[in-house]
Structure 1
C-alpha cells in the first residue's frame, strides 16, 4: 500500500476516535435521558447511560445549588433534583458577572456550557437573567441542530469509515466535512446569538436595544460583564479538523503519485 494512503488512514482513524469518544458515544448513551428525568421515569434510565454520564462529568462544573455528595453521580443528582447537563464534551463556555451575584456565592460567575446536544452549568439561572432583559430561554434556539446532531455525527462517522476502508477519489471529499466542523459550530453559534439579541420581548424588566452578544472574548450587557470562550470540546473539534485535513491531502497525494507511476 502506498505510504501516503497509510498515513491518510491513520489520520482519519485518529479523527474518528476523537469524534467518537468526545461526542458521538456520550450523545448516544445519554440520548433521551433528560426527557425521562423530566417525565419522572428515572427508573427507565439504563445503567450504561448512568455510567457514561458519571464518567464524562468528572471534574465538570456543577451548579452551586448541587449537593457536593451528588457531584458526578447521576442517581444522586436526580434524587436531589439537581440541575443536570448533557454528557458530551462542552464546546463553548459563557459566563456572566454582576454585582448581585457575589464572588463568594458564584466564584465563576454564572457559567453555561454549550454542547452539540444541549447545555450544562447554571442553565436555570442564565434563563432567569435572559428573561430579565426580555430574551427567550436558551432552549428556544437550536431545536433543529439538537434534534439532528446525533444522527449527523453517526452519518459523518460512517463517511469517515468509508474513507478509511475504500480508496475512492470521491470518498476523499467526505473528509472536508469534519474538517469544517469548528467553522460550522462557530457560524451556527453566532447566528443564534444574533437571533436572541435581536428578538427581545417587552416582558423584560430591563429594557435594552437589540444587540449582538459577544461571540468571543469579554463584553458588556446592561450591568452584566460577559465572558465567551471555547472550551475542551472545541479543541477536540479543532483536532478532528486538522487530522481530517491531513487525511484529505495525504490521500490526494497518494492518488497523484499512483497515477504518475502508471
Structure 2
C-alpha cells in the first residue's frame, strides 16, 4: 500500500475518534433523555445515559441554583429539578454581566454553552433576560439543527469509515465535510445570533434597537456586557478539521503518484 494512503487512513481514523468521543457517542447515549425528564418520565432514563452524562459533565459549569452535592450526578440533579444540559462537549460559551447580577451571586456572570444538541449553563436565567429585552428564548433557535444533529454526525462518521475502507477518489471528497465543521458551526451560530438580534418583540420591558450580538470577543448591549468565546468542543472541531485536511491531501498525493507510475 502506498505510504500516503496509510497516512491518510491514520489521519482519518484520528478525526473519526475525536468526532466519536467528543460528540457522536455522548449524543447517542443521551438522545431523548431531556425529553423524558421534561415529560416526567425520569424513571425511564437508562443507566447508560446517566453514566455517560456523569462522565462527560465532570468539571463543567452548573447553574448556581444547583446544590453542590447534586452537581455531576444526573440522578440527583433530576431529583432537585436542576437545569440539565446535553452530555456532548460544549462548542461555544457566551456569558453576560449586568449590575443586577452581582459577582458574589454569579461569579462567572450568566454563562450559557452551545452544543450540537442543545444548551447548558444558566439557560433559564438567560431566557429571562432575553424576554426582558423582547428576544426569543434560546430554544427557539437551531431547532432543526438540534433535531438532525445526531443523524448528521452518524452519516458523517459513515462517510469517514468509507474513506478509510475504500481507496476511491469519490470518497476522498467526503473528508472536506469534517474539514469544514468549524466554519459550518460559526456560520450557523452567526446566522442565529443575527436572527435573534433582529427579531425583537414588543413584549420586552426594556426597548432596544435591532442589533448584531457579538460572535467572537467582548461586546456591550445596553447595560449588559457580553463575552463570546469558543470552548473545548470547538477546539475538538478544529482538530477534526486539521486531521481531515491532512487525510484529504495525503490520499490526493497517493492517487497522483500512483497515476504517474
Tell me the TM-score range normalised by the shorter chain.
over 0.9
Matched residue SS, 1:225: strand
- 1:132 aligns with 132
Aligned residues, how many?
261
Residue pairs, 1:26-175, within 5 angstroms: 26-175=26-175
Matched residue SS, 1:237: helix
Q: CA deviation at 1:254?
A: 0.2
Matched residue SS, 1:24: helix
- 1:249 aligns with 249
Deviations 1:55-102 (A, max 9, x none): 000000000000000011000000011110110000000000011100
- 1:177 aligns with 177
C-alpha separation in 2, matches of 1:165 and 1:22: 22
Matched residue SS, 1:161: helix
Matched residue SS, 1:201: coil
C-alpha separation in 1, matches of 2:106 and 2:143: 29
Matched residue SS, 1:128: helix
Deviations 1:18-39 (A, max 9, x none): 0000000000011000000011
Q: CA deviation at 1:143?
A: 0.8
Q: CA deviation at 1:229?
A: 0.2
- 1:222 aligns with 222
Q: CA deviation at 1:222?
A: 1.1
RMSD: 0.3
C-alpha separation in 2, matches of 1:193 and 1:81: 29
Structure 2 residue runs of 5 or longer lacking an equivalent are: none
C-alpha separation in 2, matches of 1:18 and 1:259: 32
Deviations 1:37-65 (A, max 9, x none): 01110010110000000000000000000
C-alpha separation in 2, matches of 1:170 and 1:83: 45
